[in-house]
């Protein structure tokens, strides 16, 4: 490209003596070799880039509610503030939410979110009337969270629970409001 | 249609058809490849000439690994360390890629030194190659600048303090030193603005300059032609030439292979560590630069007070200028090293000084029990941090963080009431406001506690219309709620 004519001539003779077929055979060999080495080297790059697709990088951790023994003689719903840890890549957000620990009709522990399924107010427990009564729009729920009356289209939402080492754990979730079926959002 | 096709086929060098032939006729790729590979080397292929393409390979590897690292890295003082820890500890192959990038910088400095030494010892800068040599000198400087700016980015103790020392040294430059230091740091102190500046230099400015200079370096090299062995005429090569392809290509590839295998094994078995996050308040930390900066580091130790300018500025500047001026000063066509005793003596002296200073720094560190102990402690802290699993950073939106600031127990009780009474349903968590109700943040400036108590018990007609119910609470609870609402900032 840049060399003078004299150099080119000189070079041309040298190249020809090597043999065009051997040159191209070597070329194919080098091309294939480079391709395979390149493919090998790109393995860590691809794995690095695809990490968020192959592993969970956003996760909602289970939050401890309290020791199981605390809830063994439960006669009415009790409010517990739980810490929710939401991991998002290299960061996490911790927030607090109120949940109720109560019992279902079979006497099994059940955890309810305190967010009203109507429009999202925090539902307080009314001790005197022995029911949940939302202060915003008057939705009424029984002690186990089932709908009794008012504008809500469904009962209070139960949360997934699990038990680990005598601790009650709960996976906090948000649900769509103003619908009759429980539907997870976010 | 046929005639057009014939015309096209007629102008192409070969009879090839198909996609390759078409692509070739459109782009001239074959010619380009041929001119790249058919570069004549007077005197034939040699292992001495392999370093340039080795550098090109490492540079390519640095660009690729750098781009991938940027997938996760955030250049700010509060996230840089977390994101590098995430890359190192959590992301698949992250430690390997980061090590490849970090060790790649060291490999670059080593191969660059070998490339420069070969050029110098072979006298390959002679014979109308002044610009080629100059562009190489500037490239050397840019590579060192890349190493310097990249070193800070992980924002661990080692990075922070090494850069603090490095930028401090700049302030020794007379007249403009202090301003230069502030310009680099983005202020008088090292901080988040320093990271952003170093990041921009490391990722945009210097790489752009390197790309441009590598292109001109290769262009100037091809324009001047390969210099060949030491007994070749630098102006008019007379020895029988051999083409770059295939033998020189294979020799170059042997270095590339060595680099791939060597760096791969090193990164796999001895990955680069990340130390604990930078703590500017750590007065005990003994900063040490990366190994290739040790000679300069040691050199600067000898210069203090009024004479410092000689050591810090005059001598290094003269040295750099002397190196850059070599092809202008040395005009003889003699290239055999044994016939150039002065040139070889100067080379040996500079290399000896660099090695001597580097080893002297290492020797002093080992024989000063206080420093050796502190350096040992720093290494131990680094290893301890490296063993810990990755811990995500607590986002500033976290409510727990807000609770910590709620020192007043009355306000803390009020917060529970605020949430228990569903005030947050309309006024938002922390009283930040929603579409349904106004923010309560800063309400302290508008209403006194007594006025608030009155409003809570008897909301105005406007408040009623918006859905705000009267609050029925015990006097103690009301006081707590007011304390909380007043605390919202």
Contacts of A174 in chain B (CB under 8 A): none
Determine whether the interchain pair B237/A7 forms a contact, defined as Cβ–Cβ distance below 8 Å: yes
Quick one: B399-487 is in which CATH superfamily?
Cytochrome c-like domain (1.10.760.10)
* pLDDT tens digits for range A76-123: 898 888 888 888 899 988 888 889 999 888 888 899 998 889 888 888
For the cut 70, the answer to whether the pLDDT of residue A13 exceeds it is: no
For the cut 50, the answer to whether the pLDDT of residue A2 exceeds it is: no
d(C-alpha A168, C-alpha A66), whole Å: 6
Determine whether the interchain pair A90/B79 forms a contact, defined as Cβ–Cβ distance below 8 Å: yes
Determine whether the interchain pair A95/B399 forms a contact, defined as Cβ–Cβ distance below 8 Å: yes
* pLDDT tens digits for range B338-395: 999 999 999 999 999 999 999 999 999 999 999 999 999 999 999 999 999 999 998 8
More confident: B55 or B417: B55
d(C-alpha B479, C-alpha B435), whole Å: 27
Determine whether the interchain pair B421/A135 forms a contact, defined as Cβ–Cβ distance below 8 Å: yes
d(C-alpha A34, C-alpha B257), whole Å: 10
**With an 8 Å Cβ cutoff, is A98 touching chain B?**
yes
Q: Which of B16, B61, B76, B91 should be substituted to probe chain A, the one whose Cβ sees the most A Cβ atoms within 10 Å? A: B91
Closest-CA distance, B144 to chain A, in angstroms, reads 26
For A49, which of B68, B225, B429 is closest by C-beta distance? B68
d(C-alpha B95, C-alpha B384), whole Å: 16
**Sequence spans of domains, chain A:** 5-54, 58-185
pLDDT of residue B14: 52
For B425, which of A1, A14, A120 is closest by C-beta distance? A120
* Chain mean pLDDT for chain B: 90
**With an 8 Å Cβ cutoff, is A39 touching chain B?**
no
Residue ranges in B270-340 assigned as alpha helix (H): 294-301, 308-309, 315-329
pLDDT of residue A9: 42
pLDDT of residue B2: 43
**Sequence spans of domains, chain B:** 39-387, 399-487
For the cut 80, the answer to whether the pLDDT of residue B397 exceeds it is: no
Of A129-138, B133-142, B413-422, which range is least confident? Answer: B413-422
For the cut 50, the answer to whether the pLDDT of residue A4 exceeds it is: no
d(C-alpha B144, C-alpha B354), whole Å: 15
* pLDDT tens digits for range B122-169: 999 999 999 999 999 999 999 999 999 999 999 999 999 999 999 998
For B420, which of A54, A93, A124 is closest by C-beta distance? A124
For the cut 70, the answer to whether the pLDDT of residue B476 exceeds it is: yes
Window 59-98 of B: residues touching A by CB (8 A cutoff) are: 64-65, 68, 71-72, 79, 82-83, 85-86, 90-94, 96-97
pLDDT of residue A180: 86
**With an 8 Å Cβ cutoff, is A180 touching chain B?**
no
pLDDT of residue A68: 86
Q: Which two tokens stand for residue A125?
A: 């427990």
Q: What are phi and psi of B292, to 5 degrees?
A: -75, -10
Closest-CA distance, B422 to chain A, in angstroms, reads 5
pLDDT of residue B210: 98
pLDDT of residue A8: 42
What percent of chain A shows pLDDT beyond 90? Answer: 31
Backbone angle region of B141, left / alpha / beta, with phi > 0 → left and psi within -120 to 50 → alpha: alpha
**pTM: predicted TM-score of the whole model, two decimal places:** 0.81
Q: Which residues contact B323 (CB under 8 A, 6 or more apart)?
A: B137
d(C-alpha B430, C-alpha B415), whole Å: 8
Q: Which of A7, A46, A48, A84 should be substituted to probe chain B, the one whose Cβ sees the most B Cβ atoms within 10 Å? A: A48
d(C-alpha A101, C-alpha A113), whole Å: 9
Residue B74 CB-density burial (10 A; 0-12 exposed, 13-18 middle, 19+ buried): middle
Quick one: A58-185 is in which CATH superfamily?
Rieske [2Fe-2S] iron-sulphur domain (2.102.10.10)
**With an 8 Å Cβ cutoff, is A95 touching chain B?**
yes
Topology annotation, domain B39-387: Cytochrome Bc1 Complex; Chain C (1.20.810)
What percent of chain B shows pLDDT beyond 90? Answer: 67
Determine whether the interchain pair B86/A135 forms a contact, defined as Cβ–Cβ distance below 8 Å: no
pLDDT band at residue B398 using 50, 70 and 90 as cut-offs: low
pLDDT band at residue B446 using 50, 70 and 90 as cut-offs: confident
What percent of chain B shows pLDDT beyond 70? Answer: 94
More confident: B172 or B425: B172
């Amino acid at each position: 490209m840049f060399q003078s004519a004299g150099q080119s001539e000189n070079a041309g003779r040298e190249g020809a003596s090597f043999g065009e077929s051997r040159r191209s055979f070597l070329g194919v060999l080098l091309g294939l070799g480079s391709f395979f080495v390149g493919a090998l080297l790109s393995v860590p790059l691809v794995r690095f880039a695809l990490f968020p697709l192959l592993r969970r990088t956003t996760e909602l951790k289970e939050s401890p509610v309290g020791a199981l023994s605390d809830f063994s003689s439960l006669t009415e719903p009790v409010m517990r503030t739980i810490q929710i840890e939401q991991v998002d890549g290299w960061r996490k957000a911790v927030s607090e939410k109120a949940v109720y620990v109560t019992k279902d009709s079979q006497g099994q522990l059940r955890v309810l979110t305190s967010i009203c399924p109507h429009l999202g107010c925090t539902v307080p427990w009314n001790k005197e009337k022995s029911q949940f009564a939302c202060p915003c729009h008057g939705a009424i729920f029984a002690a186990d969270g089932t709908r009794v009356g008012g504008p809500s289209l469904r009962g209070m939402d139960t949360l997934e629970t699990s038990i680990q080492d005598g601790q009650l754990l709960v996976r906090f979730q948000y649900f769509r409001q103003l619908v009759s079926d429980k539907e997870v959002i976010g | 249609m046929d005639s057009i096709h014939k015309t096209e086929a007629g102008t192409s060098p070969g009879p090839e058809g198909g996609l390759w032939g078409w692509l070739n006729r459109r782009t001239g790729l074959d010619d380009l490849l041929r001119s790249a590979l058919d570069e004549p080397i007077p005197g034939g292929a040699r292992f001495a000439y392999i370093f340039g393409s080795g550098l090109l390979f490492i540079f390519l590897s640095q660009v690729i690994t750098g781009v991938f690292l940027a997938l996760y890295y955030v250049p700010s003082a509060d996230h840089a360390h977390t994101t590098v820890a995430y890359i190192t500890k959590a992301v698949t192959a992250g430690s390997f890629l980061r090590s490849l990038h970090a060790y790649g910088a060291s490999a670059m400095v080593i191969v660059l030194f070998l490339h420069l030494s070969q050029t110098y010892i072979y006298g390959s800068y002679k014979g109308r190659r002044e610009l080629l040599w100059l562009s190489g000198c500037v490239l050397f400087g840019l590579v060192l600048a890349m190493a310097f700016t990249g070193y800070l980015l992980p924002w661990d103790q080692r990075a922070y303090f090494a850069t603090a020392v490095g930028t401090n040294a700049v302030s020794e430059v007379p007249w403009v030193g202090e301003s230069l230091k502030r310009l680099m740091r983005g202020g008088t102190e090292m901080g988040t603005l320093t990271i952003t500046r170093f990041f921009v230099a490391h990722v945009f400015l210097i790489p752009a300059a390197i790309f441009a200079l590598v292109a001109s370096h290769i262009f100037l090299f091809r324009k001047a032609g390969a210099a060949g062995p030491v007994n070749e005429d630098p102006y008019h090569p007379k020895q029988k030439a051999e083409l770059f392809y295939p033998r020189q290509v294979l020799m170059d590839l042997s270095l590339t292979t060595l680099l791939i295998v060597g760096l791969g094994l090193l990164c796999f078995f001895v990955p680069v560590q990340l130390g604990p996050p930078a703590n500017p308040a750590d007065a005990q930390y003994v900063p040490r630069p990366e190994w290739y900066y040790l000679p300069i580091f040691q050199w600067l130790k000898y210069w203090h007070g009024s004479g410092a300018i000689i050591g810090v500025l005059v001598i290094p500047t003269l040295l750099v200028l002397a190196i850059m001026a070599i092809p202008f000063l040395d005009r003889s066509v003699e290239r055999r090293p044994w016939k150039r005793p002065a040139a070889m003596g100067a080379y040996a002296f500079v290399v000896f000084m660099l090695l001597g200073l580097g080893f002297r720094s290492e020797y002093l560190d080992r024989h000063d029990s206080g420093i050796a102990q502190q350096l040992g402690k720093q290494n131990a802290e680094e290893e301890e941090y490296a063993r810990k699993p990755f811990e995500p950073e607590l986002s500033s939106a976290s409510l727990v963080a807000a609770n910590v600031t709620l020192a007043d127990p009355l306000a803390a009780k009020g917060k529970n009431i605020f949430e228990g009474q569903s005030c947050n349903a309309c006024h938002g968590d922390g009283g930040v406001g929603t579409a349904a109700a106004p923010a309560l943040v800063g309400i302290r400036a508008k209403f006194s506690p007594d006025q608030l108590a009155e409003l809570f018990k008897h909301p105005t007609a406007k408040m009623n219309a918006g859905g705000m119910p009267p609050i029925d609470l015990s006097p103690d609870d009301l006081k707590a709620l007011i304390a909380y609402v007043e605390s919202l900032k």
